[in-house]
Amino acid sequence: MSDSNFIGQSKVAFKEGEIVYRKGDMAQNMYVVLTGKVRMYLGSEPQGDWSEELGKGDFFGEGSLLEPIPRHHTVVALEDTEVVAISRGTFLRMIRQNPEVSVKMMQRLAQRNRELSSRVDAEATRGARPRQQPASVSLVSVISGRKFQILAHGALVGRYDPNTGIHPDIDLTEEDPQLSVSRRHARILCEHNRYFLVEEHGVANGTYIKGERLPPGDARELRPGDRVGFGMVVLFFEKPA
């Protein structure tokens, strides 16, 4: 994968918001991320639930190396991104030239298999117990009272961008007639059931926690009842005990 001639011949560039492939497409190549970042959505559109965000050095779509099967995800570039596209034939040639590639690939596939097995075991354990609707962690609009659920892996906060087609996880378009919220305004990160707010780069109108402006790139923990501002839109952070 490190051969410069191969990389130069196989590089593919995607603009922010451009779809690499869509769920249901027949698999032909796997991809290695050279620069930028992609997100894997569970549905056929780049919105709603997603499973992973991948950056430099990560790979995806490796199922195409085994057999031509429909894609299980929709993959979209979150920013301008370059990838290396690798077909099955190319991969076999790479293995012959550099067997270490196959070893690294098998290690990564084994890791993913362990992660999948752990999730299946956890689901089976939960299924043996009485199922309860989990309490949601949310941002609640001060004006409309609307709840915006924060997913377990976190959330991107902003406004829908018709130019790129990217829907933020928490879309404040309807809450923001003044257009004070940036398209990609901030991220909420989750770590061990603790939630942190980080402002994205280039935000003009600020991000606030309890009236205090959050410095760009500074992660601040959110606590139940905190008043959070994105531009002129104000919400409360709600997290059940």
Give 184-217 pLDDT, tens digit per residue. 999 998 887 889 999 998 899 999 999 999 998 8
The total of other beta-carbon atoms located within 10 Å of residue 118's CB is 10
Report the pLDDT value the prediction gives residue 182, as an integer from 0 to 100.
93
Mean pLDDT score, 233-237: 96
Mean pLDDT of the chain: 82
Q: Which two tokens stand for residue 79?
A: 């920013």
Pairing assessment for the beta strands 233-238 and 227-230 based on DSSP bridges: antiparallel
Report the pLDDT value the prediction gives residue 126, as an integer from 0 to 100.
58
Pairing assessment for the beta strands 155-158 and 170-171 based on DSSP bridges: parallel
Report the pLDDT value the prediction gives residue 49, as an integer from 0 to 100.
81
Entry pTM: 0.53
Choice between 163 and 85, residue whose per-residue pLDDT is larger: 85
Residues 6+ apart with CB under 8 A from 206: 199, 213, 214, 229, 231
Q: Which two tokens stand for residue 16?
A: 């922010």
**Domains in the chain with CATH codes:** 4-98 (2.60.120.10), 138-238 (2.60.200.20)
The total of other beta-carbon atoms located within 10 Å of residue 206's CB is 18
Give 69-128 pLDDT, tens digit per residue. 788 889 999 999 999 898 877 777 766 776 666 666 666 666 665 665 565 566 555 555
Residues 6+ apart with CB under 8 A from 105: 59, 62
